[in-house]
Amino acid sequence: MRSRDYSVDELMVCLMSHEMRDGEVVVQGFSTPMVFAAFVLAKRTHAPHLYFMYTIGNSLADLPGKVGISYIERLTLGSCLKKVSLTEINCDLAPHFRPREFMRPAQVDARGNFNNTVIGSYERPKVRLPGGAGIPDATNFNDHLNLYVPRHTTKALVEKIDFRTGLGYGDPAADRSGLPVIQQGPNLLVTELCVFDFEDGWARLRSLHPGVDLEEVTRRTGFSFRLPEEVKTTDPPSAHELELIREEIDPLGVRRLELLSGSERLEAIEEILAREEEEG
């Protein structure tokens, strides 16, 4: 397959899907359709015994569904395995399962610490973001965390984050051994250009996506990162994966909303809603 036969959202969905292991629990937070598409893809390919923990729906489920906006409860409630409450999910089930999770930070540094709270000062922010939700919790106990950034820019991958909502590998100046934290920071940072892992708690380029060169990643990354002995090329999606994503898992393209902003995004939402209304 030629490199232009797939889009970056499809590639990222496949990369996230490959991180999921059969039999484990995966959790979805708010507004992350790419992650949802990745769960379903994993379930339908290499991990048929995956459990889904749905924050939206407050349920545990093991049936694959379709990505959508309007009718999501048909799946998360209408065909779930067990209904729980959000307090149970947060206080009991998340620490118990330590589920595989993908979080999308507004800013992330080379040590995998990240920000979803404010851009600018906390007291008088330039942009007030929605807030940390379960991030300050999960980064204290969950060792199955990964990060993803659909728009790889120097504004998102920064030398210094404005607020630390999520603990990554901490701060070299402050030893994290004193903290009551039982995990070691995110495993991977997946972006539209490449994949980073973390070596001794510092971002290291693991692979470049097909067609992307090192110069572009360096230019669009605000922090310095390490290089391995050999920079690999990311495996492209298979024809089977692409067919599943496009035809069955997310035919409406809800995942693409994560790449859009402003009026373009609102228009895309309106299109999806109209198609959902048509199809019922």
Partner 1 sequence: MESKIRDIKTAVELVRDGAMIAVGGMTNYRRPVRLSLEIVNQKKRHLSLLTPSAGLESDIMIGACCADVIRTCYAGLEIFGLAPMFRRKVEAGELRMVEETETTLAAGLRATVGTLAFLPARCMSGTDLFRVRPDIRKVTCPYTGEQLPALPAIKPDVALIHALAADQQGNAILGGNHAYDLELAQAAKTTIISTEAVVPHEEIVKRGADIIGFDVEVVVPAKHGAYPTSCYPDYFLDGKVFVEYIKACQEDRFDSFVRALCERGNGEI
Under the rule (CB under 8 A), what is the footprint of partner 1?
A: 30-31, 33, 56-59, 69-71, 73, 76-78, 80, 83-87, 89-91, 95, 117, 122, 124-137, 139-141, 163-167, 170, 176, 178-182, 254, 257, 265-266, 269-270, 273, 276
Least distance in Å: CB of 33 to partner 1? 7
Q: Tokens 């379960």 map to which residue?
A: 134
Q: Which is nearer to partner 1, 8 or 84 (CB)?
A: 84
Least distance in Å: CB of 123 to partner 1? 8
Q: Which is nearer to partner 1, 12 or 89 (CB)?
A: 89
Least distance in Å: CB of 240 to partner 1? 28
Q: Which is nearer to partner 1, 117 or 207 (CB)?
A: 117
According to DSSP, the β-strands at 100-103 and 107-108 are unpaired
Nearest to 241 by CA among 11, 48, 28: 11
Least distance in Å: CB of 44 to partner 1? 23
Can you name the residues that pair with 52 across neighbouring β-strands?
26, 61
Q: Which is nearer to partner 1, 45 or 187 (CB)?
A: 187
Q: Which is nearer to partner 1, 178 or 219 (CB)?
A: 178
Least distance in Å: CB of 95 to partner 1? 6
Least distance in Å: CB of 88 to partner 1? 9
Type of residue found at 159: E
Nearest to 162 by CA among 205, 201, 125, 202: 125
Chain center to CA of 150: 9
According to DSSP, the β-strands at 202-208 and 107-108 are unpaired
Nearest to 104 by CA among 135, 76, 72, 128: 135
As a three-state string, the secondary structure of 41-64 is HHHHCCCCCCEEEECCCCEEECCC
Q: Which is nearer to partner 1, 259 or 269 (CB)?
A: 269
